[in-house]
Amino acid sequence: MAEVEETLKRIQSHKGVIGTMVVNAEGIPIRTTLDNSTTVQYAGLLHQLTMKTKSTVRDIDPQNDLTFLRIRSKKHEIMVAPDKEYLLIVIQNPCE
């Protein structure tokens, strides 16, 4: 649908964004702007990490839930937005 395209395009056009991908609940990529091998690697690793984070948050407080995950590394920042069925992963290079 056009909305989907437009949203993803908007996100991708932000300054410093290296790649965007949408992953389903099992870690299988649905949509991506990067090449296949990188996508598969990111999807697998971040899916597991998100699961772990979610369970950690809920273990501490069962009423709580994970809304956003940001990983800042030396080279860039990985942002993960989880949901019930899907996962949106954005990689951005914040340094000018």
Provide the binding-site residues for other proteins, judged by CB under 8 A: 1, 3-4, 7-8, 10-11, 14-17, 22, 24, 26-31, 40, 43-44, 67-68, 70, 72, 77, 79, 81, 83, 85-86, 88, 90, 92, 94-96
CB-facing half-sphere around the CA of 10: CA atoms within 13 A: 6
Report the nearest approach of other proteins to the CB of residue 14 (Å).
5
Three-state SS at 50: helix
Burial class (CB in 10 A: 0-12, 13-18, 19+), 31: middle
How many angstroms separate the CA atoms of 48 and 45, rounded? 5
Report the nearest approach of other proteins to the CB of residue 51 (Å).
16
Report the nearest approach of other proteins to the CB of residue 32 (Å).
10
How many angstroms separate the CA atoms of 48 and 54, rounded? 10
Q: Which amino acid is at 76?
A: H
Report the nearest approach of other proteins to the CB of residue 94 (Å).
4
